[in-house]
Amino acid sequence: MNSWEVVTAQPHAALAGLVGEYAEFRERVGGPVVRYEPANAGVVLVVEFADPLVVTDVAEPGVARSLRAFAAGPSLGPTRTEHAGVQHCVQVRLPPLGLYRVAGDVSELADRAVGLPDLLGRAGRELPERLAAQGDPASRFALLDALFGRAAVGGPEPDPEVAYAWRTLRRTGGTAGIGAILAEIGWSRARLARRFRAQVGLTPKAAARVIRFERAAALLRAPDPRPLSAVALACGYADQAHFTRDFREFAGRPPSAWAAGQG
């Protein structure tokens, strides 16, 4: 008999802006499950308690790796995961500037799935066993609160200019002009691109494209979705062809299939 269960929680209030959301998933089905996680501008940490997931990231589309604890960074395409039919995992969503405060330079995480030991060192190696030893989701989430709280102490602070650029892109759904942001902060385009990529994982232009896609993807799957043309217009796409092209690149399917929940 197939089953699916999820428990979600917000992190401790002291971690606002550093950690997005915690979730614990349990799934049992009769055969292999393949999923394609679309492009995103944030970071997802996964710790699997059942068999390792088979993960294929955007950077190496022909290479499938068996991973039990990993972080999937900001990406410009879908990441493929597969399990044999049983999954039990904890997932943590992080804004990229939150991960920067914990792990430092994140430029090498773009389009990649990276093992937690490579990202967090000793804490990343110990985390799967420590989480598995907890008796329930609330205890696991409390352990994560403590981990991220300690990791952020003394960690690097994002440049105020990078944080402003990120907030502006988020607030405008990716439609803010990079030139206007540069005029506000007084940096050169090259300097912003270099510092933004180190702290967010993508360049400002790439982040803007993904943020715009994320907004469109959410609108298409809203309870009362708008027509495709209306969503494209609302999200700042120049035309329907551009809208469709971004969905094929970022989600691996056209917007009509995404809206229908296919794939």
Q: In sequence order, what are the beta bridge partners of 43?
A: 94
Mean pLDDT of 126-154: 92
CATH code given to domain 160-259? 1.10.10.60
d(CA 163, CA 157): 10
CATH code given to domain 3-152? 2.60.120.10
Output the pTM of the full model.
0.92
d(CA 212, CA 231): 11
On whether the CB atoms of residues 79 and 40 are closer than 8 A, the answer is: no
Alpha-helical runs (H) found in 153-202: 160-171, 178-185, 189-200
pLDDT of residue 71: 94
**Residue 142 one-letter amino acid:** A
Q: What is the pLDDT of residues 28-67, one digit of tens each?
A: 999 999 999 999 999 999 999 989 999 999 999 999 999 9
User: Binning pLDDT at 50, 70 and 90, where does residue 25 land?
Assistant: very high
Vertex 100: Cα angle to 52 and 142 (nearest 5): 60
Q: In sequence order, what are the beta bridge partners of 92?
A: 22, 45
Q: Is the pLDDT of residue 244 over 80?
A: yes
pLDDT of residue 263: 57
CA of residue 175 relative to chain centroid, distance: 20
On the question of a common fold for 3-152 and 160-259, the answer reads no
pLDDT of residue 262: 64
What are the structural domain ranges in the chain? 3-152, 160-259
